[in-house]
């Protein structure tokens, strides 16, 4: 069986580093990207078991990125957890609710993120 691989996408290097370390302590391989375009490139090259996506990225927003992920890897699209420090529009929150996609507000508890990703990976 192959190793569990997680993708973390956030424009803040400190958040990427924190989540890479915390998720890596669970024995997972963790790749990071600071833009949606870099994330899509990694998704085309690797198979991921879960993704943690920031909603606000410099080159796209979380909904648009998630839609592109769904085209490339529908299973990964279902195994996604969004994080964001910005207040989301009702339309964005509706998107998360209808797709069953998880959402955690920043600042977040890293233990909560690890637990939510563990649940996603176990499904």
Asked whether the predicted pLDDT for residue 87 surpasses 90, the reply is no
Chain centroid offset of residue 88 CA: 16
Domain count, the chain: 1
Q: Where is pLDDT greater, at 102 or 114?
A: 114
CATH of the domain at 33: 3.40.50.2300
Asked whether the predicted pLDDT for residue 110 surpasses 50, the reply is yes
- Distance in angstroms (rounded) separating the CA atoms of residues 26 and 111: 11
Cis peptide before 107 (omega within 30 of 0): yes
Q: What is the pTM of this model?
A: 0.90
Domain span at 13: 5-122
Length of the chain in terms of residues written: 123
- For residue range 38-68, what is the model confidence (pLDDT) as tens digits? 999 999 999 999 999 998 899 998 889 999 9
Nearest-5° angle of CA 83, CA 84, CA 90?
Answer: 105
3-state DSSP percent of the chain in helix, strand and coil, to 5: 50, 20, 30
């Amino acid at each position: 069986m192959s190793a569990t691989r997680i993708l973390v996408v956030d424009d803040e290097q400190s958040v990427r580093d924190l989540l890479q370390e915390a998720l890596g302590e669970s024995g997972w391989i963790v790749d990071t990207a600071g833009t949606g375009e870099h994330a899509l490139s990694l998704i085309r090259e690797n198979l991921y078991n879960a993704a943690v996506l920031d909603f606000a990225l410099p080159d796209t927003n979380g909904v648009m990125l998630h839609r592109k992920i769904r085209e490339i890897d529908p299973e990964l699209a279902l195994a996604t957890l969004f994080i964001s420090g910005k207040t989301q529009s009702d339309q964005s929150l509706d998107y998360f609710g209808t797709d069953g996609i998880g959402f955690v507000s920043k600042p977040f508890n890293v233990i909560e993120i690890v637990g939510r990703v563990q649940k996603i990976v176990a499904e």
